[in-house]
Amino acid sequence: MSGAGNDFIVIDNMKLATSMQEEQIRALCTRRTGIGADGMIMIEPSERYDFTMKYYNADGRMGSMCGNGGRCAVYFAHTLGVAGSSTVFEANQRRYEADVTENSMVRLNMTDPEDFRDAFEVCGHTCYFVDTGSPHTLLVTEDVDSFDVDGVGRAIRNNTELFPEGTNVNIVQVTSPTTIKLRTFERGVEAETLACGTGAVASALLCRKLGLLDSCNIGVTVRSGDLLQVDFSQEFRDVYLAGPAKIIFRGEVDL
């Protein structure tokens, strides 16, 4: 599946018939020699809600919340009949609500942001931080297309003094009072991805908090060219992420 360019291997595991080791997940997510994906999602039963989403990074390790992955999980569960057009599910012991709208669009209620950090210097850049279910560092540029996302992103991500558990790194260009353009270096993928849902949320929230945007309804253009919509209250609560979630192909793989 693709969530605005974030691609995932999504598995129906409602019968709990599938169990994989870290190295198997990593092999399947490795491009050119595996299926290739930014991560793997298992749709599993939940005792309280419609389903449980288990998300694994491309390195095979259990990941934190993935916004675009969550939207893909919702659409996939909807196609399975596990969830209706409105659903409640859990991921990492947290409750999420979402709606499937027309044209494979999914709107997901995200967790409230935590741990806002004001300006600090890292690797020669002024950065900001917020946790939107995953840790995100932001820096603002006037030309995101020519920015060295891999070099700078990798250096900041691996600054263990500031980020003992690592961080995702978002490079943002403000394109209007209500829109931004985003590129993200993702922890766990260890590379730039074509989109990042929690990164889009973090970037919209921080840019609004910094006074760079004059709205709480933000359009975020990601590297794939797709548009994500981020909405939140004036108090930076009631955060929603909306955008496309599409099934690209179905298949079987021999483990």
Q: How far apart are CA 1 and CA 21, in angstroms?
A: 21
- Quick one: pLDDT at residue 254? 86
127 has catalytic annotation: no
pLDDT tens figures, 105-138: 999 999 999 999 999 999 899 999 999 989 999 9
* pLDDT score for 58: 93
Strands, E assignment, 13-93: 39-44, 51-57, 86-91
> Do residues 205 and 236 touch, judged by C-beta distance below 8 A?
yes
Buried b (16+ CB within 10 A) or exposed e, 240-251: bbbbbbeeeeee
Could you give the C-alpha distances from 208 to 55, 75, 84, in angstroms and in order? 29, 29, 33
Question: Which one is catalytic: 29, 72, 127, 196?
Answer: 196
pLDDT of residue 78: 96
Name the catalytic one among 66, 127, 207, 216.
66
pLDDT at position 50:
98
> Rounded to whole angstroms, how far apart are CA atoms 56 and 39?
6
Q: Give backbone dihedrals phi and psi of 126, rounded to 5 degrees, phi first.
A: -80, 125
To the query of whether residue 216 is one of the catalytic residues in this protein, the response is no
Positions in the chain whose pLDDT score sits under 70: none
pTM of this prediction? Answer: 0.92
